[in-house]
Structure 1
Amino acid sequence: MSTSMSTSLLIPRGTPRVQYLADGAQRVFTYPFPIFTADDLQVFLGAAPQRTGYAVTGAGATAGGSVTFTEPPAAGTVVLLRRRVAIERTSDFGESGPLPASALNGELDRLTAALQQVAGDQELMLRFADSDLPASPLLPERSLRQGKLLAFDGAGNPTIRAPVDEEALATYIPPGPGATARRVREKLSDVASVKDFGAVGDGLVDDTLALQTALSAARAVFVPPGTYRITNTLTLGHGRTLYGAGQSSVIRGASTAFDLVHLPDGYASLSALRLELGRTGVRLFGRDGPCVQNALTDLTLWEPEVGLLLDGHADPAKPCYWNTVTRVLVAKPAKHGVWLTRSGAGDTPNANRFHGVRVYSLSAPMAGSGFFVEQGRYNNAFLDCEANLWPEAEACFRVGAVTDKTLIVNFYAESLGSLPNLQLDAGSAETAVINLFSASAGPAILDRSGGRYTAVNAGYPEKNRLQRSRIAELVVEALRYDTEFVEPATGGVVALDLASSVYLVSAYGGPVDLRLPAAAEANGHAVTIKRTDASANPMTLAETGGPGPDGRRIALGNRHDFVTVVSNGGGWWIVAGNRLPGNARYHEGAGLFEPDLSQALYLVSAWSGAVEVRLPDPAAPHAVGRTVSVKKTDGSANRVLVTQQGGGGPDSEEIPLTGQGHAVTAMSNGAGWHILGRNP
């Protein structure tokens, strides 16, 4: 057995419905029948069902409770309170299973409430009196009663008569070929006006009930010129349309304590209206269904706290996306002009389109931003929009932390203050900005995202910022490289992060060991490293966790030496380098000298004693393909002996240099050192 109730109510005799006639001052109305939950009570003002603007107390009490309105209903308004429960069974008692009194009482309570509900509905039906003689309750067939009037024959049974309403018989034929005659009454029913439902439009009378009744009765409602004062939120449900005659059709909130218009569902349209005041001018959110494909066009929102609010709300299954906002002016907002956010656990607003939307402070104080995409994933687009703001506002356009792939095209930002034209918060990703006009005194783009944006003709002083792109053909008139100067104070290992294209490196402070990232992490990246100092400190270039460019460590021995390398993902490869004229090193000191082959010429002095110049193994990575010259510079009798690692020397023999000016030039082919020239 399963049950949805653990307690029971006493359901007294009576009809679960009560009506009052409002006097314009009373806010609290009682209902003398029990309800199970607050959702079981329906509240009507006239013919319009209410969803907001009141609170229900007394749910679960046998004696009933009360409804308290935020604002007193207008005098003369009929207030209807009735209980409506779903006629369904929510429990199932198992065969020979337990039968708790609470479950049984709860089921009987529900059944009694449903029966009272049905009985109450029957009281409102057209029916025979209890004392009437038997008569037929059947209507004539549809084909017979079409276009006819209901009547009763001599026996009191239903019958039909020809129409006698002259207005209904009158016809209207529009001009032009192909037009057909229509009844005037049908013609007039094409357009439903709020004035058809009692709206006055003088700016004084409360027209809330009339407007909401019209929206409940008709799918498309026209607001004629006038000023319609409202004291509660208007709800534009699924597929509904509310439209006016432009600036002359004004809906004005009585205060900023409530939103003016809610679009809690999809496929609704709001157009050609001027909305004044309100906590929010128009709020779009998925409460009753997915908030999708709604259209807001040709609107003016005047002096709201927030102009347009797109809210991801509470349910991920009811997202706020694919809505279109076109030709909308938000004037004098106190906080934000356009705000995309999420008030609950729903999805962030995404894929919404804004075209020709303008936020204008008109010198009125403003605390927030013109456009604030606080939360928006993905692909919210803003085309040809503008923000002209109070000097102490936050930003003309702000992209918040929970955003991705926001598109901003041809945006106009202006302010007499120094607020940012465009602010990118930390956490925002892949914002694309095209053609930004920055007329505020603040930064064109205040970037706190770490460069996670793309800009074309935007920003200052760099107008363009492009992320990684693949181009089949590129014609360049001026090519500039991002350059970085590196000079460690005491030398040491320097990891190159490849954030720049050219590194100018100095080793004045000590030996420098430059490290490229692993080739697999830098596929397609090219970088140039050039030495700028003339010190004797060595400078080498290697790869982190890899063999290095062309499979070896590169030495930049002299000032102005450079190398350009590129990664193919498998390794780093040298594509350019240099050996400038005069690339030589002087060595003086007896004993063993092992050149690192970073120079092409070694001038060796043996004044202080004999010197052995030992070349590296010819198969060493930094020796293969190298040509090197060794020359004796002193006139002493001490000799300079040229050998190689492992024994022997060029052409398999040790080469003695005994006189001043004696020299030998050798090259390694990987198997041995071979003499290219010798003196004597």
Structure 2
Amino acid sequence: MTSSLSIPRGTPRVQYVADGAQRVFTYPFPIFADDDLQVFLGAALQNTGYAVAGAGASAGGSVTFAQAPENGTAVLLRRRLPIERTSGFLDSGPLPASALNGEFDRLTAGLQQVAGDQDLMLRYADTDLPASPLLPGRAIRQGKLLAFDGAGNPTVRPPVDEEALSTYVPPGTGAVSRPVRDKLSDVVSVKDFGAVGDGVVDDTVAIQAALTSAKAVHVPPGTYRITNTLTLAYGKTLSGTGQTSIIAGSSDAFDLVHIPDGYATLSGLRLENGKAGVRLFGRDGPCVQNTLSDLTLWDPQVGLLFDGYTDPNLPCYWNNVARVLVARPSRHGVWLTRSGAGDTPNANRFHCVRVYSLSAPISGSGFFVEEGRYNNAFVDCEANLSTMAQACFHVGAVTDKTLILNFYAESLGGVPNVLLEAGSVETSILNLFSASAGPAIQDRSGGRYTALNAGYPEKNRLEHSRVTQLTVEALRFDTEYVEPLQGGRVDLDLTSSVYLMSAYGGPVEARLPNAGAANGHSVTIKKTDASANVLTITETGGPGPDGRSVALGNRYDLVTLVSNGANWWIVAANRHPGNARFVEASGLFEPDLNQSLYLVSAWSGAVEVRLPSPGAAHAVGRTVTVKKSDTSGNRVTVTAQGGGGPDSEAIALTGQGHAVTAMSNGAGWHILGRNP
């Protein structure tokens, strides 16, 4: 160490950022010895890997690293002296200047070191008002955060979860943390843009600014007064908390909400007043796939207005409306129309939409499809109107394929429940509840509609409807299997078209209802078991099929029956019981072929059984058997109209039991069997 150094003004520390190549770094302050210099790489104090030069020089020196520090590494060089005094001066002894200079050098260097440390410390400003520097006691500050009270003195506060302040993690498997700022920006509140919601301040600009700035905008509870139309643009969402989120128009001179494009959502709001509560139209783009849900519209001129507008390329199609109440409209509750040369509103869906006038005057209709060419559907909707309305549901002239399902119509006056204008076509009405005193369906279309359970007095139920032309691609029959455990009687209620019946447990009587109560009904009955028990078909209060009971004795025997209101008739069977007729007469007998077996007695004299011409309509394809049943010697001769007989000859049956079986092929009678 030199006897005296010049200690320049400044802080005894210097810092660099390594570039990966530099090995030599200078320090511009004096040190007394190499050990007085601390070397840091980043936050790590180094003890080896470098060499110090320049100790004892007033201008400082340098540090040379064996290897260049990595690029970007902070390199800190600082002087660090122990604050101590190890030398002393004797009384009356020598007092050399070099010794005094050395002591002063160390004192100065130590003071610079303390001043440098203070520069890195938090401290009160020189101009600050007096404040306590004392920390709260250990027991008080343990586990707490340092804070300052109202006077600026140190105090403590409960600990804060800093991560919770900066991030948000939703509950559930797979959730990831997000910055709270991002989470809060998911949905913007109209109050973020200055809306007040007190029903007095004009919130129009604030709400529209929110809609312009954000994709999804929330309307907190409150009454938000507007003086001009709000525009809900493409893909935007405006939602509230239900009846407590109110947007109130200052008058009915303007529409409250315009949706001039597609894919927007409006929900959970109460809209009051307005020329139209909500108007959908294709001004900025195709007005398609918009959603209106859970809305209440109070005191509008028109509740919901679907407008085809002016451009056919920007249609009002495929919009969805659900759970909407339009209360006290002065003109129409729901109106589909066209204000220009655009296309008509088509294929829009309305579900659970209610128009309720609450006895207030209404000049139009609950629902008015003035123009709507194709497939607008109204399901589970309702109109309850005062007596001056035009109709609960009004279908205009420029409409096609309007669907009305489960509609509830009510009025205290003679308001038509459904009014169909001339020009409307293919309106379908299913399950109309007509609670207005007016006509259920006032038809001016010339019958160009279909209805089911929807008219008056005829409800157009399927069982009372007449189908003049029906094309069926897949005809299905309701089938029922019946097997009484011990046989017995089964009363058929005809709720099924086909009865598969088993008599395995014992003989079964299948009793049909009286033909008079089953006009037009067709039923097929088939025996399914292989037992010897008989399935007998009878009729309640009537003679039975074809005027008698029918027995199905074998497995797979079946019969198809039709009632004409007077009798049950057999129209098809696979094992029809054979009909037989006993004839006792002499002379000529001409069978009508209604039976397949004729037992002929010639006891009183010879009998000629003359078959009809083989070409007769009732003979072609028929098979008939003629058998002599008596023991007399009188003959039974079988002939045919026009001469001859079976196989072109008269057949004589001379003894009891002699028989002949013949069939007509349309040209002649041919013998199939003969005895003898």
When the two structures are superposed, what TM-score results if normalisation uses the length of structure 2? 0.45
When the two structures are superposed, what TM-score results if normalisation uses the length of structure 1? 0.45
- Looking at CA atoms only, which structure, 1 or 2, has the larger radius of gyration? 2
